[in-house]
Structure 1
Amino acid sequence: IFCQIVRKEDSKTVIEYETDTIVIFKDIRPAAAFHYLAVSKEHIKNCKELTLDHKPLLEHMKESLEKILVEKGVDLEKESLLGFHWPPFNSIKHLHMHGMGPKSQMGFFGKIIFKPNNRWFCTNDQVFEWLQNQPSSSK
């Protein structure tokens, strides 16, 4: 479905923000008052397919989500949560970063599903750290 959204073939999804490399739209099952997905236009299956060459893409996804959350009044330092579901716990096979907040208002299940740094959800910082140990695709 994310490939269809990227190609603008899904009329139900409103794209909130778009650049040459990503689109951002609201999650259809929000875990917080503001819950967005930054989706890579390049089809990357999941985090495990990333290389160091993708670091600028991930930084762009993070910065773009943070900008939207700030516009919605979310305190980035205390109330935002950004990250990825880690394979095999990702239901959509297309790289996407979750950006949500305020996390203090998340429900019980949302706090479990998006609990940072566990086997199924990794913060963007944890993925960046993992990425530092990955080879560049140009090697």
Structure 2
Amino acid sequence: MDNCIFCKIARREIPSHRIYEDEDILAFNDIHPVAPVHFLLIPKLHIESLADIQECHQALIGKMLLLAPKLAKEQGCDDGFRTIINTGRVGGQEVFHLHFHVIGGRERLPGMIHYG
């Protein structure tokens, strides 16, 4: 996608602080971190959201999930981390390119979302 900010980051048209890259996947620090460790893990292939994955993406998504704990530990999350995949507008997705937030690095993260 020409106008997708994450595709532009993957193509190096927009700078980022990369912590991992291979031919399929890119991981980079979030520009608005909510914890000491907060990075994004994206496929270089443009997939709009988790709702858009197909059977042909199984190996790619599996590779991303296997990579998340390895990178989290390398970034200092020795005692756990949170992985978030916002999906669609109602799910809080702001950039419509599949991405995993990996968050940690403090004593204990706040609890889950609670509706009033």
Fold shared by both chains (TM-score > 0.5): yes
Alignment partner, residue 99 of structure 1: 102
Alignment partner, residue 9 of structure 2: 5
In the TM superposition, residue 61 of structure 1 has moved relative to its aligned partner by: 1.4
Q: What RMSD, in angstroms, separates the aligned Cα atoms of the two structures?
A: 2.1
Q: Moved runs in structure 1, 4+ residues, more than 6 A?
A: none
Distance 2:8 2:105 in 1: 29
Higher helix share: 1
In the TM superposition, residue 66 of structure 1 has moved relative to its aligned partner by: 1.4
* Residue 38 (1) aligns with residue 41 (2): yes
- The TM-score normalised by the length of structure 1 is 0.68
- The TM-score normalised by the length of structure 2 is 0.80
Preserved CA contact (<8 Å) 2:27 2:39: yes
Which residue among 55, 60, 63 is the counterpart of 2:63? 60
Alignment partner, residue 51 of structure 1: 54
Task: Name stretches of at least 5 consecutive residues in structure 1 with no aligned partner.
Answer: 119-139
Provide closer, same or farther for how the CA distance between residues 17 and 105 of structure 1 changes in structure 2, counting only shifts above 3 A: same
Distance 1:6 1:80 in 2: 24
In the TM superposition, residue 55 of structure 1 has moved relative to its aligned partner by: 2.1
Number of aligned positions between the proteins: 108
Secondary structure of 1:10's counterpart equals: coil
In the TM superposition, residue 105 of structure 1 has moved relative to its aligned partner by: 4.2
Task: Name stretches of at least 5 consecutive residues in structure 2 with no aligned partner.
Answer: none
In the TM superposition, residue 59 of structure 1 has moved relative to its aligned partner by: 1.8
Alignment partner, residue 30 of structure 2: 27
Identity in percent: 29
Preserved CA contact (<8 Å) 1:83 1:97: yes
- Which structure 2 residues correspond to residues 58-137 of structure 1 after superposition, within 5 A? 58-75=61-78, 78-88=79-89, 89-102=92-105, 104-106=107-109, 111=110, 115=112
Distance 2:62 2:81 in 1: 16
